[in-house]
Amino acid sequence: MLAFIAALGIGCLVHGAAPTPGEMATAAEWAAAKFAGESAPGFDGAPFFSFTYGGKASADLLPSWTVTRAVEAPDAHRARHTVTWTDPETGLEVRCEGVRYLDFPTVEWTLHFRNTGAADTPLLENLRAVDTAFRRDPHSEFLMRTIRGDNCTPASYEPLETPLPPKENVHLACTGGRPTQETFPGFNIAWGGGGVICALGWPGQWAADFTRDDGETLRVSGGQEETRFVLLPGEAVRGPLVVFQFYTGDWLRAQNVWRAWMLAHNTPAPGGRPLAPMRSLCNGNFYPNLMTVAGPERAFIERHLAEQVDFTCWWQDAGWYPCDGPGWPKTGTWEVDRGRFPGGLRELSDLVHAHGKSVLVWFEPERVHEGTWLADERPEWVHGGRKGGLLDLGNPACREWLTDHVAGLMDAEGIDHYRQDFNMDPLPFWRGADPEDRRGLTEIRHVEGYLAYWDALRARRPDMLIDSCASGGRRNDLETLRRAVPLLRSDWYWSEAGQQCLTYGLSLWIPYHGTGVIYDHDAYWWRSSMAPEMSFGPAAAGVEKTDFALLRKMTAEHRRIAPCLLGDLYPLTPYTRDEGAWMVLQFDRPDLGTGVVRAFRRAESVQESARVPLRGLDPEAAYTVTDLDTDESQSLTGRDLTEKGLSLVLPERPSARVFLYERQR
């Protein structure tokens, strides 16, 4: 088996750090033991997931069940494994769909349960999509690194380090059913000379435990938080996606390999093309209750075109549909408000398209407000009925209508890209709908329906980009990120230091993300906010006092540096929100021989200068380093830049300097 997989070859384009042969071998050995049932050094064939069935542990049941294994090669970069266990007594089928990547030290799997029998199954409980152990050497200890989820504060995405000493149990879970709310489902577990990155992909309520014995073993288990149900004859469900990435050496290098894997195999590629950085023009904050009006919006777009502002996309945020009274939160009637848009959104999209720009429009289909079309005309599709609540995406008829309606509306109005928000916690609705012997099923059906809805939209509109949003960044699990990117990583974007910190933390896990800038800010704020996607627009004051020269300068700078932001991340100073500190971030593109250094001296810092060693450069190469403020360049060797460091002088506070470097040919 291993020889067959190796013969498939590797070679997917990688933006950043590349794995080592040893890391690739570890992933292959794990897959051989767990997926293929072969003997492999360091790993046994014990199950790597768990559940309780009819009161008995799966570890005791699976050895007596019928098992079949198959492998195929869907492309040059993956080996797809299917392992199926079947209970001969009840007909329960447990199918593991696994993948080993042939260009990264990464494996993944998803469990599927199906009742092939003629009667209801016994109770299925405590489904853990991952349940496996790692053993340290006697001279090391376990340390877990992760980040906070989004909670709409400056602490969103803060890097966290948690020791895992003997007899310790760390329990983590998201809140409210949104998977990156408060807690993030990605964990870098280090011990000895390496470790493993583990991630859960579940756009619902997940939980995970990291449990140490009193010796050398750490058990990692996690999945959907609550599962206790019977399956009816013919009924099937799926569980969370689980990913392992094995590594040796530096944990930060491992995160850069993760970033490269995310871009190579997860980040959407509309139209089959790699997703390029974006600049989005958005005017929503100018209007009361975000309720846009066609005339002023046309004038707004035309002004920016006349001023030659560099933007790639016009972003129509919430409030374009009928939403009198409460304003934009009144969601559930998905038609253009013809009072404010007599010619529809098509009037504006035609203008934008005529200048070679694209159009992105905001939707929030899952939250249904009382008094809207969905609540009044289809209350049976709403958890909450006529009073409003959560749209039931687990209902096939509802999902089919929504797909047809949204796709038709996008076609009619000239909408290129789809932005989906989610400003509510679904968990109370899910759990309130479950009978006692069907706990967790409403959530599963909603998750399945949510993913199927997006897949159907993308099948109809393959050039379409989806923007994931959930009160900011509260639904950015891996299953979501395989279909969408977060163009507004958090609804909190109210200080420069906070924006710098959000970039620092989130970039460890999600390479492509975006944020927003309000016009009345200076270059320091703009530079603090730059991410692969950058949206911008005015506050209530409008554009009359806008410094368009600064706007042109900052958007041109973003165009210049944004490709580097998709490379390796090297934080050159510690994470801190302290206004008395500096923060310096380096992004390196080894595939292009280029990179960018972004240095921030904060408002209360007394330090005017610093010298920071760069990382990831070839010590024998020469680099041209250009200051984007002065456009002056100097030639420095990689050895000088990595050993002596780059000299930074920022006499004003607060201030920012940006340096581009390029390897000389």
Instruction: Say yes or no to pLDDT of 193 above 70.
Output: yes
Instruction: Say yes or no to pLDDT of 3 above 60.
Output: no
525-539 pLDDT, tens digit each = 999 999 999 999 987
545-590 pLDDT, tens digit each = 889 999 999 999 999 999 999 999 999 999 999 999 999 999 999 9
21-42 pLDDT, tens digit each = 999 999 999 999 999 999 888 8
Res 520: pLDDT: 78
443-455 pLDDT, tens digit each = 999 999 999 999 9
Predicted model pTM: 0.96
Alpha helices in 357-511 (DSSP H): 373-377, 396-413, 427-432, 441-460, 478-481, 496-506
Instruction: Say yes or no to pLDDT of 400 above 50.
Output: yes
Instruction: Say yes or no to pLDDT of 523 above 60.
Output: yes
Instruction: Tell whether omega for the bond before 532 is within 30 degrees of 0, i.e. cis.
Output: no
- Predicted confidence band at 135 (pLDDT cuts at 50, 70, 90)? very high
> Could you tell me how many residues make up the chain?
665
Average the pLDDT over each of 1-15, 204-218, 426-440 and give the range with the smallest value: 1-15
Work out the average pLDDT over 261-285: 95
610-642 pLDDT, tens digit each = 999 999 999 999 999 999 999 999 999 999 999
Instruction: Say yes or no to pLDDT of 4 above 60.
Output: no
Res 577: pLDDT: 98
- Predicted confidence band at 13 (pLDDT cuts at 50, 70, 90)? low
Q: Residues with Cβ < 8 Å from 647, sequence gap 6 or more?
A: 609, 611
320-378 pLDDT, tens digit each = 999 988 999 999 999 999 999 999 999 999 999 999 999 999 999 999 999 999 999 99
Q: If residue 251 lies in a helix (H) or strand (E), which one and from where to where?
A: helix 251-265
Helix axes 346-354, 294-306, angle to 10 degrees: 10
Instruction: Say yes or no to pLDDT of 246 above 60.
Output: yes
Beta strand extents in 332-381 (DSSP E only): 358-363, 367-369
Of residues 117 and 324, more confidently modeled: 117
Instruction: Say yes or no to pLDDT of 287 above 90.
Output: no
Contact 196, 108 (CB under 8 A): no
The secondary structure of residue 204, as a DSSP letter, is: S
Work out the average pLDDT over 251-256: 98
474-497 pLDDT, tens digit each = 999 999 999 999 999 999 988 999
Which tokens hold the place of 5? 């997989």
Work out the average pLDDT over 386-409: 98
Res 63: pLDDT: 96
Average the pLDDT over each of 75-89, 273-287, 480-494, 503-517 and give the range with the smallest value: 273-287
Instruction: Say yes or no to pLDDT of 113 above 80.
Output: yes
Pairing state between β 217-224 and 130-135: antiparallel
Question: Mean pLDDT in the chain?
Answer: 95
Question: Which residue type is seen at 7?
Answer: A
% of the chain exceeding 90 in pLDDT: 92
Res 14: pLDDT: 62
